[in-house]
Amino acid sequence: MFAKKIVGLIAAIVGANFVTNAKSTELLIYHSWSTPSEISALKVLNENFSSEGNSWKDLAIAHDSGVNVSLMNMLTGGNPPDVFMNSDPGIYRDLKKQGLAYPLTKLYQDHHVLEHFPPAVLKNITVDGEIMKAPVSVHIDGMVYYNKHVADAVVVDPKSWKSLDDLWAVFDKIKAAGYIPIAQGGDKFQIAYLLQAIIASETGNAIYDRFYGEKPDRTCIDTREMRQALAAFRKIQQHTDPGSPNRKWNETTNLVITGKALLQIHGDWMKGEFLAAGKQPGVDFDCMNIPGTKGVVVTVDAWGFLNTKKTEKAKAQEQFALLVVDPAINAAFAAKKGCSPVRTDVDPKSLDPCNKVVLETLKDPAMQHANPFNTADADWYRTIWDVADKFWNTPSMTPDQGVAEFQRAYDSVF
């Protein structure tokens, strides 16, 4: 079964577009992207990488496929990738201990790249003072994407909403008109991402970093702010449609694209699905931060590199690390992926209205909070996922009970 999934995913993504020149340097590139928008974005990188005389060998494991292949298992199994997508700082610390880390600090300094990264990106790619990752995209994990035609049909203006209370106030009206008010998928990934987005949006600096930090603060759990976030989280759950459980995020986005639902609160990679469906920002759909947001969660997708000790591989790896942050290539990638560019000096003409919302938000460092994958202890973060899933799927559970569940979870981990 494992082999069949690997072969199927590779066949779907690699296709006939990948260069197979026998003289080229081949890199094994490991990632977890598989949706149409992700595949289109990868094609941008592959075409530019291959044009430099290199060959891209794809190893794709969709993040929701149920297949678990860790980088460390691939290392011990003798078939490690040359390039891999991973933002977890712990991975890079482990590689450094094994003498397999590939820092990019000097490469990026020599090519004057670092000064063009916004603070959120620079912070994400730095591990213990070294640049260890090549950033390729920047996302806000919880944005509102809505169907403008549905909004017009029910006569609501999402951009007039000042808080989530304004959102709740129109949900019954939207339901009465025959639309799903808010599309939400039901797997753990989407539930966990929604919770962290709501905690950041509703509480800002009050508890987010204390809850998701490297050394979490137990006292932030039993607070008014946490109860406020859990109450908002529950409100969203109460308005989900019957098809929500186990629905993938892109299938959920499609409900908004096709006019079955008004909006979705999820990562702004949703935009890639709208664009892949031929929809135009500002015409068919629009985007904004969560109403009344006090903070946003920032994800930076990034590539890591394995020190193979081979000169020809190293040259190709450096070419890859530079091309993914090239302003023109990164802008073209962002247009396909639905993300925003990682550089501040891209051509403004390449930015759409949703890019501008993201980049304007990222001008304020105080608004930015890192995705927990980049900060939290892995056991703690996964435990948060479990508690969030339990809370979501137990409609009778109150915010007070949710607080108690998180306290017990904290005690079990720490």
Q: What confidence tens digit (pLDDT) does each residue in 207-247 have?
A: 999 999 888 999 999 999 999 999 999 999 999 999 999 89
Low-confidence winner among 240-254, 322-336, 344-358, 390-404 (lowest mean pLDDT): 344-358
pLDDT of residue 374: 81
pLDDT of residue 23: 59
Q: Does residue 170 share a domain with residue 61?
A: no
Low-confidence winner among 61-70, 71-80, 216-225 (lowest mean pLDDT): 61-70
For residue 184, what pLDDT band results from cuts at 50, 70 and 90?
A: very high
Q: Does residue 278 share a domain with residue 318?
A: no
CATH code, domain with 118: 3.40.190.10
Within a domain: 53: yes
Q: What is the extent of the structural domain holding 397?
A: 143-297+368-413
Q: Does residue 181 share a domain with residue 75?
A: no
Low-confidence winner among 64-73, 126-135, 274-283 (lowest mean pLDDT): 64-73
Q: Does residue 156 share a domain with residue 249?
A: yes
Within a domain: 210: yes
Q: Does residue 321 share a domain with residue 246?
A: no
Within a domain: 308: yes
Q: Does residue 233 share a domain with residue 131?
A: no
Q: Does residue 309 share a domain with residue 279?
A: no
Q: Does residue 83 share a domain with residue 111?
A: yes
pLDDT in tens, 243-296: 999 899 999 999 999 999 999 999 999 998 999 899 999 999 999 999 999 999
Is the CB of residue 229 less than 8 Å from the CB of residue 165? no
**What is the total count of domains within the chain?**
2
Within a domain: 268: yes
Q: Does residue 277 share a domain with residue 207?
A: yes
Mean pLDDT to the nearest integer, 177-195 = 96
Using a pLDDT cut of 90, give the percent of the chain over it. 72
Within a domain: 109: yes
Q: Does residue 319 share a domain with residue 212?
A: no
Q: Is the pTM of this model over 0.85?
A: no
Q: Does residue 216 share a domain with residue 160?
A: yes
Q: Does residue 293 share a domain with residue 207?
A: yes
